[in-house]
Amino acid sequence: MLIKNLTKSILICTTILMSTIYSNNANAQDGKTLFNTYCAACHKMDKDLTGPALMGVEERWGNDRAKLVHWVKNSADLIATGDKYANEIFNKWNKLPMTPFESILKDAEINAVLDYIKDWKPPVAATTGTTGAAPAPKNTGFLWFLSIVSVVLVVISLTLYFSMCRLKKTANEKLTTNDRF
């Protein structure tokens, strides 16, 4: 009985942990979906396509999120303000206009996409001799921690469950042997 209750509570804890993991990821997930829907036709993260590779774009823009949002909403409008970088990138890409997204995406959605771009890391981390492997970002580290804890909890509950079955079986066998006497 005790073991059964313990197993139950561990399973409940695991479920709660797993749902925390997924709800934490919801926003990043939205950004990814939006990127794939609206931007991936012209942009890749690590390779130039119709438009430039977007990895590290936030730094290239001097971490100016407001300006980036302005660009995605209407790049022609930002170019017309005479912004130096916007004009540079426009000229570099042979004045190919980027689709304005002001009537397609809400500010929050543009920010979710830009967050996704900002947090994007190449699948295989480049190992640079001098700086060494970059430490995993905090959030990812925490998610990893939660995932590992969940796996451990599942293993513990399975072990408990099987030992419970074994105990039950032994008890039953004992009973039947005793009955014979």
Q: Which residues bind ligand HEC (CB under 6 A)?
A: 38-39, 41-43, 50-52, 54, 57, 60, 68, 71-72, 75, 89-90, 93, 96-99, 101, 113
Nearest residue (CB) to ligand HEC, 21 versus 28: 28
- With contact defined as beta carbons under 8 Å apart, do 89 and 107 qualify? no
**Which ranges in 35-137 belong to alpha helices (H)?**
57-60, 65-73, 75-80, 84-92, 107-119
Q: Output the smallest distance, CB 42 to ligand HEC, in A.
A: 3
Q: Output the smallest distance, CB 110 to ligand HEC, in A.
A: 7
Nearest residue (CB) to ligand HEC, 77 versus 153: 77
Q: Output the smallest distance, CB 36 to ligand HEC, in A.
A: 10
Structural element, H or E, at residue 24: helix 2-34
Nearest residue (CB) to ligand HEC, 90 versus 120: 90
Contact residues for 149 (Cβ-Cβ < 8 A; gap 6+): 17
Which is nearest to 31 in space by CA: 116, 120, 118? 116
